[in-house]
């Protein structure tokens, strides 16, 4: 059985990841951002929350990259399913370095323009899904199957 990593940042990205609960099997795990004051249920892994406009953004990305590497080496997922955003990029890149399959689902909120994370993941993902038909104009090789809601 293949091991699957489900990864997203917090907020709406995590909400979208939760829509995939029906396909989360026993051989899977979740990575998301740790939010102060919010107790997430389950044995999840946590990355630092990143805002690209904050001063410590580069340091947090580097710290998340090291933590992502440790998680990847421990868990050894065969497939990574990601709904974004910034904090997930190091893990996704590491997954490609170690030949895991990367599936990226562009945000439901993106109807006419791609997200910054989506633009990067479009280049490296094995499968790239959009949730709006109009997004095929932005990502022509993407797969459209409708929204996950």
- What is this structure's pTM? 0.94
Domain boundaries, the chain: 4-144
CA-CA distance, 131 to 89, in Å (whole number)?
Answer: 20
Give the DSSP H/E element, type plus range, for residue 148: none
Per-residue pLDDT 10s for the chain (149 aa) are 899 999 999 999 999 999 999 999 789 999 999 876 566 666 799 999 998 899 999 999 999 999 999 999 999 999 999 999 999 999 999 999 999 999 999 999 999 999 999 999 999 999 999 999 999 999 999 999 999 98
Q: Residue 34, class by beta-carbon neighbours within 10 Å (0-12 exposed, 13-18 middle, 19+ buried)?
A: middle
> Phi, psi (5° rounding) for residue 101?
-80, 135
Tally Cβ neighbours within 10 Å of residue 127.
Answer: 13
User: What CATH homologous superfamily does 4-144 map to?
Assistant: Glycogen Phosphorylase B; (3.40.50.2000)
């Amino acid at each position: 059985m293949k091991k699957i990593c489900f990864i997203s940042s917090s907020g709406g990205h995590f909400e979208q990841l939760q829509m995939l609960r029906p396909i989360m099997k026993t051989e899977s795990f979740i990575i998301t951002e740790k939010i102060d004051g919010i107790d997430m249920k389950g044995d999840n892994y946590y990355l630092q929350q990143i805002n690209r406009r904050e001063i410590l953004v580069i340091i947090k990305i580097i710290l998340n990259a090291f933590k992502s590497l440790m998680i990847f080496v421990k868990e050894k997922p065969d497939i990574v399913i990601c709904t974004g955003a910034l904090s997930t990029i190091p893990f996704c890149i590491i997954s490609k370095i170690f030949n895991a399959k990367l599936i990226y689902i562009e945000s439901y909120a993106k109807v006419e323009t791609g997200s910054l994370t989506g633009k990067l993941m479009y280049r490296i993902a094995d499968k790239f899904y959009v949730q709006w038909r109009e997004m095929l104009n932005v990502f022509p090789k993407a797969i459209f199957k409708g929204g996950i809601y």
